[in-house]
């Protein structure tokens, strides 16, 4: 069994082949040359952080299937400064167009010491921002972005830090490690 932890940079597609009709974007093949491994889950091209790749179908299912509720922790830079009511709404679950989310763990955190993003997040003098840590147990399409927007704080930067027992600790942007 192979399991690879990859720190996916902003703008990289979570697939090994480019989109035939899309704009040219880097893919996993630009970073990882390991035949037979596939992403266990996805990160949008505009999200960064931990992506797990494996050649083991059972492990892939355990990581991605909602039945197993693998916790996924994100460091999220949001527009504005969420108050306790906004954080509590995330903790209880948020109503989205595709239904209620499961309760999440949500807390404000100090700005993490991360690599610079390229391109940088747009800075606005008149609109404050802050960071939250958000742990969810689902993996709906663009779920974290939709949850923070639903409580009035759109996501500016999204970094997946942890999936289950695996994290980005010690892994630089664009690097991977086999475990």
Catalytic residue check, 55:
no
pLDDT at res. 69: 79
Q: 71-163: same fold as 1-67+166-179?
A: yes
Distance of alpha carbon 20 from alpha carbon 18, whole angstroms: 6
Confidence of residue 37 (pLDDT cuts 50, 70, 90): very high
**CATH architecture label of 71-163:** 2-Layer Sandwich (3.30)
Instruction: Convert the pLDDT of each residue in 68-122 to its tens digit.
Output: 878 999 999 999 999 999 999 999 999 999 999 999 999 999 999 999 998 888 8
Contacts of 165-174 with CB under 8 Å at 24 or more apart are 166/3, 166/5, 166/50, 166/52, 167/50, 167/73, 168/5, 168/7, 168/49, 168/50, 171/5, 171/6, 171/7, 171/50, 172/7, 172/115, 173/7, 173/9, 173/48, 173/115, 174/7, 174/9, 174/31
Whole-model pTM over 0.75: yes
Residue range 140-167: average pLDDT? 96
pLDDT at res. 150: 98
Evaluate if residue 164 carries a pLDDT over 80. yes
Domain positions in the chain: 1-67+166-179, 71-163
In the CATH hierarchy, which fold is given to the domain comprising 1-67+166-179?
A: Alpha-Beta Plaits (3.30.70)
Query: Of 44, 46, 55, 56, which one is the catalytic site residue?
Result: 44
Residue range 36-43: average pLDDT? 93
């Amino acid at each position: 069994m192979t399991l690879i932890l990859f720190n996916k940079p902003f703008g990289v597609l979570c697939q090994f082949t480019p989109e035939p009709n899309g704009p040219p974007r880097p893919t996993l093949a630009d970073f990882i040359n390991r035949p037979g491994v596939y992403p266990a889950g996805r990160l949008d091209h505009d999200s960064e952080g931990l992506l797990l790749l494996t050649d083991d179908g059972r492990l892939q299912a355990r990581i991605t299937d909602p039945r197993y509720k693998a916790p996924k922790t994100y460091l999220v830079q949001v527009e504005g400064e969420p108050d306790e009511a906004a954080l509590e709404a995330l903790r209880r679950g948020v109503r989205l167009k595709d239904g209620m989310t499961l309760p999440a763990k949500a807390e404000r955190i100090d700005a993490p010491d991360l690599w610079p993003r390229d391109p940088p997040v747009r800075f606005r003098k008149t609109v404050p921002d802050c960071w939250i840590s958000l742990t969810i147990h689902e993996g709906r399409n663009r779920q974290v972005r939709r949850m923070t927007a639903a409580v009035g704080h759109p996501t500016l930067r999204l970094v997946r830090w942890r999936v289950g027992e695996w994290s980005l600790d010690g892994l630089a942007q664009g690097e991977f490690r086999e475990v």
